[in-house]
Each structure stands twice: as structure tokens, then as C-alpha cells.
Amino acid sequence: MLDRTVTLPEDPEELRSFTARLLAEVKAQAVLIEKLRHQLAGHRAHRFGASSETAEQLQLALETSEIAAAAMTARMKLPDIEEKDKPKRRPIPDHIPRMEVELAPSADACADCGGRMRRIGEDVTEELEYVPGRFIVNRIVRPRFACACCERFIQAPLPSRPIERGRPGPGLLAHVLVSKYADHLPLYRQSQIFDREGLDLDRSTLADWVGKTTALLEPLADAIGRHVLSAEAIFADDTPVRMLAPGTGKTQTARLWTYARDERPWGGTAAPAAWFKFSGDRKGQHPKDHLARFRGWMHADGYAGFEDLYRTGAIREVACMAPSRDIAAQCPAGQCMSGASSSTFTGRRAPRSPKRPSAGSRNSTPSRRKPEGRHQISGSRFAEHMRPRSSTTWRSGWPCNSPRSRANPRSRPPSAMP
């Protein structure tokens, strides 16, 4: 509308409609300009700024721009428009409790003729509301009874509690744990939130609750670990986690090891589960201790710490194809692919494009960080290493977390693999 000359209409209704469309287009362009500004600033910081700039921080910048655009719309009283890239409004889930409020006219008779009004239908509007969390006190009263004839005394026993001689109930403990470990809300911030409700719960008190509750959950975690390690095939991976280093004022990189069992792709009946273990570093001794009782197939990446597990013969490797595509992308043309079919490296995701060398670089080969562990292979050795062991080991186009056979992917378990 803004890129062509338009004659203003003379009719008042048409003029109001034209003004509304013009305001809507101005709003859309203002929102787009604000988003592009924040995206450009985020990309510049991501490319040239500190390495701590992450996708989450870019999302925060976009969130700020969208809030500013919504505030501008409210102040200017602009009409709402449906953006193409805006997520569609989904219905409110059925499991959310409904509190129905019916608004009926105050008069039962028609205002024109005085006739009796009859119901012909209704309009329903659902509004999502939030009731702030509130604390309650469970007063457990146990009356004491004494015999009128003798000195016998009876009283109902106190029910089992998560922390003996403690105040917190199971719901409060669950809330503290979920807030700390799932929502990343430190205990001192939770203490401040509780203080707004008039509850004096010090951080040290909450820490004592968390420590005692984790001891209660250890049998459950051990049961999950036994269930995962009893499978014929598991998936293993590790994730870096920033951990405070006391006394240094800095953080160190810890590891969260994940071992998953999921037999649904080949028709297994066992429940899927994931077992997590934490360590302060990435030494290979940690997975060796975690998987000391496991016997079977393990689908993992090329981490060198897994090599000792494969050498024992108790654990058989199911290699991940994603690292192989990255290695194939960084090798000179015609060297990595000798003796191996190029379709071996075909997957759902294209190899990453290597970075361009700097202008002053003497070597025209793109500079990339060397892969770690057993994937430090080049030339014909790489092609020999990555050649499929049999026709049923890999299949072009499979995702790297689905160990299936070529003949019938959903009917053969990993034990049928060679």
C-alpha cells in the first residue's frame, strides 16, 4: 500500500477503512524493523562478540523487541493483524480445570413486545487464567484416648513423612526440587520468593531439604539405571554443564552423562527410560564405571573414552553417522571417499560448510578443529574405517539414533545385527 500512489477516498466509511489498513501496515513494518534490528545486533555479537553469546540470548533480544512492539500497539490503539510467521493459537488442553461463569440477561421478557424469551443457543469464550500458588498448613491432629477402667493409652500413629521431624510436605519438596533443577531457580531466589509470602525459609534450610530428598530418591534412580542397563541396546551421550569452581570465582565444564533405552522403533514392549549421571570432568573412567554391568550394543559418537569399553568385547559399538559426515566435509576432495560409496554419507542433514580461510592465510585448506578420539583418520584409512561392516549395518538416510536393519527396520532387534 505504501509503495504506490493512492487517491484518498471521499466517503467517510471508506476513509476510516483506509486509515485502519494504513495503520495495520505501519504496525507490521514497525514490528518487522524492530525484529530485524535485534536480529542484526544479535548476529553481529554472535560473530564478532564474546563467545558467551548464545541462541538463548538472541531469543531474549527478540522477546524484548516483541514486548516493545506490543506496547506500542496498545498505546497507539492499532488494530491487531495476523502475522504469517506468528504461531497459530492452539486450543486450551482439556485437562485444565474449567470454572464456568454464565452471564444471562437480567430481564426474562422481550423489551419490544413483552414476550417470554427462550434460549436458542450460546456463545462460549475461554479465558486462560492463573491462580497464584499458595501455601497451606496441614494440621495433623491425633487425639489421645485413655481407658476409663485401666491405665491403657492409645493414639493413632503419625503417618510417614519425607523428612522426619521436619516441616515440609511432599508437595513443597517437589516444588523446590523442580524449581531448582528443572527451572534453574537457585535456592536463594526461592527463599526470596517465599519471603514475599511471609515465610522465613532460609537458603540453608532449603539446602538441607534438597540434600535429604535426594537421598530418598536414590533408590528410584538406581531402579531406572537397572532398567536401562538391562536392555540389549542403549544410546549414550554426554552434555557439557557449567559448574561453579569454589574459590576461583570462575566456572568449570562438568558433564552430564545420559544413557537411554528406547525399543519402540523395533516393536519392543519395554518402557523407554533415560538414566543420568553427573561428573566433574570428561574422563573415560566415568562411563567405564557407569557401564560396568552392561552387556550389549551401545550407540554413541566418537568419544575416545568409549574405546576401552569396546575393547573388552562386552559392549559392541553402533557408530553414529553424524560425525562421519562432518569428517567427510573437511577432507580434501577425492581423498576421503576413495573406496567408500558417497551414498554412505547421505543423510537428512547436509554436511556443514567449512569456514573460509582468512585473506592472509598461506594454506588454502579451510581451518577446522581436529575431531577427537578415534575419528582422527584421513585419506584411505578413513574410507576403510568408515566402510560398512555388512549390508545390514547402516542404511542411507537413517537418523543416527535408530539402530535398525536394512531388511525390516521395525522387526529386527539389535541382537540380530552382525
Shared-domain flag, residues 286 and 218: no
Shared-domain flag, residues 235 and 310: yes
Shared-domain flag, residues 282 and 331: no
158 in the Ramachandran plot: left (φ > 0), alpha (ψ -120 to 50) or beta?
A: beta
- Which of 153-167, 192-206, 316-330 is least confident? 316-330
Q: What is the per-residue pLDDT across 114-136, written as a single tens digit (0 to 9) for each? A: 888 888 888 888 888 888 788 88
Please give the residue range of the domain that contains residue 263. 230-319
Whether the per-residue pLDDT at 209 is higher than 60: the answer is yes
Answer whether residue 120 is part of any domain. no
Shared-domain flag, residues 286 and 302: yes
Shared-domain flag, residues 307 and 388: no
3-state helix, strand, coil in the chain (%, to 5): 35, 10, 50
Answer whether residue 396 is part of any domain. yes
Q: What is the per-residue pLDDT across 217-269, written as a single tens digit (0 to 9) for each? A: 999 999 999 999 999 999 999 999 888 887 788 889 999 999 999 999 888 89
Answer whether residue 392 is part of any domain. yes
- Which of 126-135, 181-190, 221-230, 393-402 is least confident? 393-402
Whether the per-residue pLDDT at 102 is higher than 80: the answer is yes
Answer whether residue 151 is part of any domain. no
Shared-domain flag, residues 234 and 314: yes
Most confident of the following: 105-114, 198-207, 384-393: 198-207
Shared-domain flag, residues 240 and 260: yes
Answer whether residue 82 is part of any domain. no
End of a domain among 296, 319, 342?
Answer: 319
Shared-domain flag, residues 242 and 276: yes
Answer whether residue 410 is part of any domain. no
Q: State pTM to two decimals.
A: 0.58
Number of domains in the chain: 4
Answer whether residue 107 is part of any domain. no
> Average pLDDT, stretch 331-344?
50
Residue 336 near residue 325, CB atoms below 8 Å: no
Most confident of the following: 47-56, 64-73, 133-142, 224-233: 224-233
If 0-12 CB within 10 Å is exposed, 13-18 middle and 19+ buried, where does residue 148 land? exposed
Residue 226 near residue 370, CB atoms below 8 Å: no
Q: What is the per-residue pLDDT across 275-305, written as a single tens digit (0 to 9) for each? A: 999 999 999 999 999 999 999 999 998 888 8
End of a domain among 53, 76, 99?
Answer: 76
